[in-house]
Structure 1
Amino acid sequence: MSDDEHAKRGVDLERPNAARVYDYLIGGKLNYAVDRAFADRILEVLPSARHMALVNRAWLRRAVRFAADRGVRQFLDIGSGMPTVGHVHEVVQAIDPASKVVYVDNEPIAVTHSEIVLEDNENAAMVQADAEYPDEVLAHPTTRAMLDFGDPVMVIMAAFVHFIPDERDPAGLIAKYADVLAPGSYLALSSATWDGQGEESRRSVALYEQSGTPLTLRSSDELRALADGFEILPPGVVFTPEWRPDEPLEDPPERSGGLALVGRK
């Protein structure tokens, strides 16, 4: 893609993009030199960053499988990022091919490639929107066509709210999505945390400050407060690998650098 084409699509190649950095960390190929250079700087100060991204991705797959196993057939993935192997639609449609998935992101490369991946999938779609404006997301024609909010929906916010500082009211943001959900719906929420972390995390947060995409790390109590109105299901707010693991843990859970929960409305 030429520089002019990048500009037309709104792709900023002057600074790293959080979605593309995450894609690089989990082994994806939808990233650019500026993203890889930034991720490599993060890895220098926080060698476990790739592990953190991978275990968060694994938690996401477990969380959506949990909901699908309990009969949920509609999923709204907020800040979905790049289309990677084991994305939400692959997990839930393996359980029921009729499961509906709507991805939401405003990163042009994520949107373009998601549209390509989903081209032949009538039960999954991409919405290009700023997820911080729930009214626009929920009123989008694709969202309205794909999802019936009279039935349960799982809203997914995986590694999303730590990009929303307190002054932008993440609790209010989540509440607006929650307001439209039917009883029996779920919230899957994960975030980077200070809990159990050391100086390496502080240095990585400082790098994100320089990138133009600052992080707001939150404690277990703060993450629990964001899920107000949901019944937080066992095992509660835990490090991502501790949430209903498929296998015994090999690494200290705090090495994940992230907390996760699933709540039921």
Structure 2
Amino acid sequence: MSVIDKSSVPVALTIAGSDSGGGAGIQADLRTFAFHCVHGTSAITCVTAQNTVLVTRVDALPVDAVVAQIEAVVTDIGVQAVKTGMLLTAEIIAAVAQQVEVLKLNNLVVDPVMVSRTGAVLINDEAMATLQNVLIPKATIVTPNRYEAQLLSGLQLHTLDDMRAAAQRIHQLGAKAVLVKGGGMQGNLRGVDVWFDGHKLETLKTAVVDTSNTHGTGCTLAAAIAANLALGCDRLSAVQKAKDYVTTALRYSLAIGQGQGPVGHFFPLLQENTP
């Protein structure tokens, strides 16, 4: 049996929460990294008790525990890209931002988990402010959904022009590039995202997949972007490839549980078993 030289395998780190139902968070991120043949490492920020129907409990890990996980991975293995998801508290967000600076972490993809795609608020005002003022300015790419983009930009998003204006305003916070996601938009704006990097203002479209099993879509997209950055793609190419991956994963989404099932991260295996 041959051994792969570790120097030839890109490494990505996800800093996020654990989803006991396996559809989002750390679990979705690691499956996404594996699909892209990127070695996945993790720093867990909180543990949730959830399934396809509801979240019944969330427990934040101590800040020191989060920092220790990041340091353990980076100082030994090294990482080519980092993705953040649910950071939950202002203290954890500030600590993660400090680690990004101290350890000189590159290719930082910030999924600013503040509001769900249905509009449910997930963190408090202090955590929102810390995310906006401390972590997002360090981001290579930030990926807000409709409601997060509204909070970050101070604009209401109803039209494509609104999305474009929000992307440009969020860019002023300091992130190198912004992807405003249209998953929460209505009508013909579903499946439409807006990209702005200070130079290019692009409208990115993918086919709309008619499925209710979309749990973990945002986590998966950000993780796929990070994986593609770790593989050496430029920022816009990483986003475009990630969108294609998520679209196909949605086509093979899993109708499991009694609520909203997850996307099919391992769809090549599902394709093999499809009649």
The TM-score with structure 2 as length reference comes to 0.36
TM-score normalized by structure 1?
Answer: 0.37
